[in-house]
Amino acid sequence: MSLRPRARIHLNHIAENWRTLQAAQPDGLTGAVIKADAYGHGLPQVAEVLHDAGCDHFFVAHSFEGESARRALGPNPVVYVLNGPGPYEEPLYREANLTPVVNSDHQFQTLVTWLQTGGKLKNGYALHFDTGMNRLGIPAGDAPKLAEAVEGMLPSLIMSHLACSEEHGNGMNAFQQERLSAISALFPDVPVSFANSGGVWLGQDYHHALTRPGIALYGGGMPPKDAKLLPGMTLEAPILQVRSIEAGESVGYGATWQSSEPHLLATLAIGYGDGFPRSASNKGFATIGTQRCPIVGRVSMDLITIDATSARNLARPGVFAQLIGLDAPLEEQASLAGTIGYELTTGLLPRVTRIYED
């Protein structure tokens, strides 16, 4: 039996989450964001299972991720490259049939050059407007200029991205929505994409023609209580050693945790060298059975020590403890480590074996 940490990837859960998102938005199309190796779950595997579930619109950040998606998906689904086209990438986009998302004047010039030199884009291109996030996208004020410039080469999609989608009451959402409406009026009949996962939960007004959920597919983010998302992965690590300690002993580097009474400790084969954050030291937890066992002492490169006193009857070498999953919710674990679910799953390194389950 291997003593490596493992992430069991629940492809059936990811497909079920996609169907849940689609049911929340019956009038439009539900896409899938599979950038960063599908948030650490495996891009080709996730692409394939979502395509089988009925998804035909995929989003990646980089063109090389788009090539990988195309290989997994076959010829038909649309694959958008969010970070946009680079000057020498026309052959790559053509051969892999990728759809560039144009984010700036500079990228628009790149696209024009491609088209003028005989480039063809089977699924057109998207125009991404920045409606207030000031991160990436064509400034909203440039929309009229663009509307003129695209004459004869209309985009196949207009998009924008929400800055505060996880906060229902935040006025930024309505502000961005208004700006996007004004922009979309300049491009009559061009479909609009606005909502990420948080945007889907904001309700119908935010859905438009095509949504772009990412984190919700993998069971994270801030879904409403009745949404019932399933975990995309179960992260677990085997117990290497179990020991009893007396009151007054300490644990780990820097001796940052001391026992005030006798405890049973279990040492797990996972650490920051696997991408589990060191910031979870003395804050995160693992579960054995359904018992929660707090992380005690510092997370080190290869090892984590947990207080397994409450799981005394189950804790023994070779038993796997769970760090992310049904008993250890992703966002709760992430928050204890001072981060978000996105960073936790995308941060897992290749030393964690991925096991694919249907």
**Binds ligand PLP by CB under 6 A, chosen from 33, 192, 266, 286:** 33
The nearest distance, CB 221 to ligand PLP, in angstroms, is 6
Q: Is residue 28 involved in binding ligand PLP (CB under 6 A)?
A: no
Of the candidate spans 117-125, 177-185, 214-222, 296-304, the one that interacts with ligand PLP by CB under 6 A turns out to be 214-222
Q: Stretches 192-200, 282-290, 300-308, 317-325: which one binds ligand PLP (CB under 6 A)?
A: 192-200
* Catalytic residue (one of 125, 253, 272, 342): 253
Least distance (Å) between residue 198 CB and ligand PLP? 6
Q: Which is nearer to ligand PLP, 197 or 322 (CB)?
A: 197
Only segment of 212-220, 222-230, 242-250, 293-301 that touches ligand PLP (CB under 6 A):
212-220
- If one asks whether residue 214 binds ligand PLP (CB under 6 A), the answer comes out as yes
Answer left, alpha or beta for residue 267, where phi above 0 means left and psi between -120 and 50 means alpha. beta
The one-letter amino acid at 318: G
In the structure encoding, which two tokens stand for residue 77, read together? 């689904």
| Contacting residues for 72 by C-beta, under 8 A, at least 6 apart | 43, 44, 45, 47, 48, 51
Pattern 274-313, binding to ligand PLP, x per CB under 6 A? ----------------------------------------
Q: Is 197 in the site for ligand PLP (CB under 6 A)?
A: yes
One residue of 22, 176, 196, 333 binding ligand PLP per CB under 6 A: 196
Q: Which of 42, 155, 213, 277 binds ligand PLP (CB under 6 A)?
A: 213
Between residue 75 and residue 114, which ones bind ligand PLP under the rule CB under 6 A?
Answer: 82
Closer residue to ligand PLP in complex, CB, 214/275: 214
> Is 283 part of the annotated catalytic residue set?
no
Site for ligand PLP in 130-169 (CB under 6 A): 161
Stretch near ligand PLP under the rule CB under 6 A, chosen from 48-56, 172-180, 195-203, 324-332:
195-203
Which is closer to ligand PLP, CB of 24 or CB of 216? Answer: 216
Q: Which stretch binds ligand PLP (CB under 6 A): 73-81, 90-98, 190-198, 232-240?
A: 190-198
Q: Are 321 and 293 in contact (CB under 8 A)?
A: yes
SS3 labels along the chain? CCCCCEEEEEHHHHHHHHHHHHHCCCCCEECEECHHHHHHCCHHHHHHHHHHHCCCEEEECCHHHHHHHHHHHCCCCEEEECCCCCCCCHHHHHHCCCEEEECCHHHHHHHHHHHHCCCCCCCCCEEEEECCCCCCCEEHHHHHHHHHHCCCCCCCEEECCCCCCCCCCCHHHHHHHHHHHHHHHCCCCCCEECCCHHHHHHCHHHCCCEECCCHHHHCCCCCCHHHCCCCCEEEEEEEEEEEEECCCCEECHHHCEECCCCEEEEEECCCHHHCCCHHHCCCCEEEECCEEEEECCCCCCCCEEEECHHHCCCCCCCCEEEEECCCCCHHHHHHHCCCCHHHHHHCCCCCCEEEEEC
Residue 210 or 239: which CB sits closer to ligand PLP?
A: 210
Task: Let me know if 35 is a catalytic residue.
Answer: yes
Nearer to ligand PLP, 279 or 346 (CB): 346
Binding-site size for ligand PLP (CB under 6 A) equals 12
Q: Which residue is nearest to ligand PLP (CB)?
A: 214
- Nearest approach, Cβ of residue 100 and ligand PLP (Å): 13
121-160 as b/e: b if 16+ CB within 10 A: bebebbbbbbbbeeeebbebebbeebbeebeeeebebbbb
Among 57, 212, 263, 298, binds ligand PLP (CB under 6 A): 212
Which sequence positions are flagged as catalytic? Answer: 35, 253
Residues at the interface with ligand PLP (CB under 6 A): 33, 35, 82, 161, 196-198, 212-216
